[in-house]
Structure 1
Amino acid sequence: MAKKVKDPGFGESTITSAKRIVNKDGSFNIKHLHGKTGISALYAYLVDISWTRFFFLVLSAYFVLNMVFATIYVSIGVEFISVEPQSFLVDFVNAFFFSSQTVTTLGYGAMAPTSLLSGIVSSCQALIGLLSFSFITGLLYGRFSKPKASIEFSDNIIYRDFKEGKALMFRLMNSKTDVMINPKASVTLAITEPHKEHGYKRNFYQLQLERDHITYLPTTWTLVHEIIEESPLYKFSKEELKNLNGEFLIMVTYYDEAFNEEVYKLHSYTFEELLMDVAFEKAFYFDEDGYTVLDHHKISHTRKL
């Protein structure tokens, strides 16, 4: 008999059209309303986003800031920043370049404030520039120093023959060249089932794995849940499994020697990502010199049984 576990924090009430609990990137699929905002929330957001989005936001903020101050300098008069007035476009470009030099506290000497008002504005902008670049420097340090798990999961979870019965399997791999020390895996199954009072309800089950931890991981690790009588999936046929409304919630932790601390990675699979009667292909082989070669592109490769 499969044993249910307590709600791990996702809530038992649900609807059939509910989105997956954990996104493919490991983030929780939750919209926050009336949450607290501030510098700390902004800092956490900017540390977690991708490098592409981070640099795009930095460049956008830099451009907008200089556009605003260039407009102010044109309004004051470019003659007060040591520039001979010409057409509006040329004046604006010159003001933009002066703003860029001021916000970075660079200053080439060709342009400088020559009035009290332009001096006040440029002084305020220089202060804003110093604070902004200090904030960005802190973000860069935070992004480089924050430990992040380098785990890559297979695209699908598979259902196949195993021993004298069936089993579910998925595979993970270290996406870097260092070694994972003492990796551990935990898999919780959330199944949406009809309920008399609430319409539909999530039931949670802790899946037993053939092996839930290993000493180290230099290549790949295939995690196996054998579908025996104690499994919550034992009562379902192959056809019923394909139509189940559920999600496998996975957390993997390991000790990272680069950051000198334990890191974790969240992932999930839905039953729509379940492949039937296939097996994972080997992702590593031996070359002519006897070295083990790990092909990261084969993490999700399968073959028909």
Structure 2
Amino acid sequence: MATEDKPKEPEDSSILVLGVRAHPLRDIYHLFLRVSWPTALGILSAIYLAINLVFALAYWRLGGVANARPGSFQDAFFFSVQTLATIGYGGLYPASRVANVLMTVESISGVFVTAIFTGLVFSKFSIATARIVFSRNMVITPRDGVPTLMLRIGNDRNDSVLDARVRCVVTRTTHTAEGETFYQLVDLPLVRDLAPVLFRSFVIMHCIDEQSPLFGLSAQGLAKEEIEVMVSVSGIDETTKGLVHAVHRYDHSDILFDHRFVDVLTERSDGRMVLDVRHFHDVEPL
């Protein structure tokens, strides 16, 4: 019987994808790497307990475990744990051919389980993750007389991201003379797209001149053309030396006209500079 293709919506996307079959276990390795550590440890613990329960049920039904209380599932379970983990305290041991065969199968399974679990945990540990923060809004404000699109990015860790490169791409809806609809991707040239050291705050700017795809567009124009701005940041983690990257999407409703970011950098009376990241997302009207 044919299975129905369920709609699938990617994370952080406004596009509903049809024709892709939803298989929760299709990319189980990548799913494991994406989930949080508590979830990952919970999954591994559940699998470990499930394997022991299966073998414990077999020991309980078939018998043959010396010193186990008759009909005790608890003894069968703890014997399974000792066998799978190769502990072998000696109080319980297989005393029949069937129990020895089952013990052999479980011991082999334990080798594979240990290898797989170790590989998964090591892979998750070795992934360099980014904690790049993006401002909640983009603003359009005059800069030297030129309308300028701005956003803030920052690193939420105490270390820095080295050679952080930023790319902004505008997605806009265009229509041909034949009535076809296209979603056009246009790169936004930035005033500076490379930060040698990205720490807590860095402002990204795009000048809206005659060559800009945003030139002449009002808030209504952005909504009419279904403007979206995709921002990607990639760099090298200062501590792990691993490549990190982050992506954020701004809808046209996230772009504020005639606003500017509240200054997060001030100077104290003693000459020291103060960076107040509590105002990282704050904007104010002109």
TM-score range, shorter chain: 0.7 to 0.9
- Contact 2:149 2:206 (8 Å CA) reproduced: yes
- Contact 1:81 1:118 (8 Å CA) reproduced: no
- Alignment-derived partner of residue 301 in structure 1: 282
- Alignment-derived partner of residue 47 in structure 1: 33
- Contact 2:147 2:208 (8 Å CA) reproduced: yes
* Structure 1 residues 67 and 277: alpha-carbon distance in aligned structure 2, compared to 1, 3 A threshold: farther
| Displacement of 1:249 | 1.9
1:189 to 170, 173, 179: 170
Identity of aligned residues (%): 26
- Alignment-derived partner of residue 23 in structure 1: 12
* Structure 1 residues 137 and 198: alpha-carbon distance in aligned structure 2, compared to 1, 3 A threshold: farther
| Displacement of 1:198 | 6.6
1:63 to 49, 56, 59: 49
Q: Any idea what the Cα deviations from partners look like across 1:122-166, whole Å, max 9, x if unmatched? A: 221122122111111122222222223332222222233433242
Query: Does 2:217 match 1:231?
Result: no
SS in 1 for 2:124: helix
Count of aligned pairs: 279
- Alignment-derived partner of residue 210 in structure 1: 191
| Displacement of 1:255 | 2.7
- Alignment-derived partner of residue 129 in structure 1: 110
| Displacement of 1:234 | 0.9
**Cα distance in 2, alignment partners of residues 300 and 120 from structure 1:** 64
Query: Does 2:24 match 1:74?
Result: no
**More relative contact order in 1 or in 2 (CA 8 Å, sep 6+)?**
1
TM-score under structure 1 normalisation? 0.77
Root-mean-square deviation (CA), in Å?
3.4
- Alignment-derived partner of residue 70 in structure 2: 85
- Alignment-derived partner of residue 80 in structure 2: 99
Gaps of 5+ in 2: 1-6
In structure 1, what residue type is equivalent to 2:68?
V
In structure 2, what residue type is equivalent to 1:67?
L
* Structure 1 residues 22 and 288: alpha-carbon distance in aligned structure 2, compared to 1, 3 A threshold: farther
Gaps of 5+ in 1: 1-17
- Contact 1:20 1:247 (8 Å CA) reproduced: no
* Structure 1 residues 291 and 199: alpha-carbon distance in aligned structure 2, compared to 1, 3 A threshold: same
TM-score under structure 2 normalisation? 0.82
